[in-house]
Copies of this chain bind each other. A is one copy, B any other.
Amino acid sequence: MVRENEIRKGEVAVEMPPTMDAGLMFIGRIHTPWTSRLETPRQGRADGPLCHIEVFEPWVAALDSLDQFERIEVLYWLHLSRRDLVMQSPANDGTSRGTCSLRSPARPNPIGTAIAKLVSIEGSIVTVRGLDCLHGTPLLDLKPDRELFKPVAPPQPGDFQVGDP
């Protein structure tokens, strides 16, 4: 049974270029009910179980004022995923599609993004619903849902620019 990192029929891997164009730091860790990739949801749901996002120092101060948003965008690092697939066969049925046409965790830069429902923020712990990642997933960022956020900074010329003639 082909379920985790093996290559399936129809999948195409490339030789990986170096991954040193930029460096990430993990600013926290996500606690979820799922400890196996064979159990995690394919997609989070707004009525899903509570998940706890632990934010590490020195970043806890950055949570200030996040509690005014009902939904937040969570960026995380899919640390167990292979990065070299350009074609994938998610159904493992011999058909395959380009990696960019999927939301599979296997991607050249395995960054997951989710819109989660904010439940509470207590100290360094942000509690949400709607995630679909493994327990222990490294956190990259938290920001307001783009649909709820209005820029605080003054507008710039590009804000008023519409499509090409």
Contact = CB atoms under 8 A, between A and B. Distances in A.
Given A22-B79, A66-B98, 19 more contacts: A14-B59, A19-B23, A21-B26, A22-B77, A25-B109, A39-B156, A48-B161, A48-B163, A49-B161, A49-B162, A62-B86, A62-B100, A64-B101, A66-B101, A91-B153, A102-B144, A103-B149, A109-B141, A113-B113
A68 B163 contact: no
Contacts of A63: 98, 100-101
Interface residues of A, number: 85
A-B pairs, 10 with minimum CB distance: A64-B98, A41-B158, A19-B23, A65-B101, A90-B153, A42-B151, A90-B152, A62-B99, A14-B58, A61-B86
Contact of A61 (B12, B34, B41, B75): B12
A97 B24 contact: no
B64 A158 contact: no
Q: How many copies does the complex hold?
A: 2
Contact of A100 (B109, B142, B163): B142
A17 to B, nearest CB: 5
A75 B113 CA distance: 9
Contacts of A64: 87, 97-98, 100-101
Chain A contact residues: helix, strand, loop or mixed: loop
Interface of A: 12, 14-15, 17-27, 33-34, 38-43, 45, 47-50, 58-59, 61-66, 68-69, 72-73, 75, 77, 79, 85-87, 90-91, 97-104, 107-109, 111, 113-115, 129, 132, 138, 140-144, 146, 149, 151-159, 161-164
17 contacts: A17-B25, A21-B23, A27-B108, A41-B161, A42-B151, A43-B146, A62-B85, A64-B101, A75-B109, A75-B111, A90-B151, A91-B154, A97-B152, A102-B143, A102-B152, A109-B141, A111-B141
